[in-house]
Amino acid sequence: MKISAEREADGKAIAEGEQTLLLSDFGIKAPSFMFGTLKVGNEVKVKFTLKAGPELLAQLEALNRAGQ
């Protein structure tokens, strides 16, 4: 998954990512509705945007240092 991240001038961080998954890769059959007349595709696109303030970033950095 490609993730783009940047830190803003006020200390906040923003990360965004997107990944296309296939339901069949997870053993999930694509659902259908109305007795099979309406079918859903096998692809699902997952997107996210994560916004973190300076306080959370400091906590994550401390956890990372403690785990090293």
Nearest to 48 by CA among 7, 4, 10: 4
- pLDDT tens sequence across 24-59: 999 998 888 878 777 788 999 999 999 988 888 888
**3-state DSSP assignment of residue 65:** helix
Helix (H) and strand (E) counts for the chain?
A: 1, 5
Cβ atoms 50, 12 nearer than 8 A: no
Query: pTM value?
Result: 0.59
